[in-house]
Amino acid sequence: MINAQFKKGALELCVLVLLLHKDHYGYELVRQISEDIDIARGTLYPLLKKMQKDQYLSTYFVSSTEGPQRKYYAITYLGKERMESLLQEWMHFSESVTRILQKNCVLSKGEEGF
């Protein structure tokens, strides 16, 4: 089980990366992220709303043959800039944590913690 604070910090980056090459509707994002990270559906929707408010995402509706219209999310130019920034922060952070773990014999050299 992954610590809730770790998940919270990484979810925004995960959403932006998933939207980089393809627009997704909310449940589709939940399903894809849930393949690797245990999240509840209710966790993601407030984040999507905030990201839309911050102009990192835009939305549009598409008719569905399986029920009501689906709200699709697309990454914006600001979202791509945010993704680049978060990715750099994540890489720096994860490398720093890995170095600390290796220095203190928790990980072997060459073994990655993340």
Element (H, E) at 72: strand 67-75
Which CATH class for the 4-76 domain?
A: mainly alpha
Q: How confident is the model at residue 64 (pLDDT cuts 50, 70, 90)?
A: confident
Euclidean distance between CA atoms 34 and 24, whole angstroms = 14
Q: Could you give the percent of the chain with pLDDT greater than 90? A: 62
The pTM of the full predicted model, rounded to 2 decimals, is 0.83
Handedness of CA 4, 5, 9, 12 (dihedral sign): positive
Residue 44 in 3-state DSSP?
helix
pLDDT of residue 4: 63
Residue boundaries of the structural domains of the chain: 4-76
Q: What is the pLDDT of residues 41-61, one digit of tens each?
A: 788 999 999 999 999 999 999
Residue 98, both tokens: 């890995």
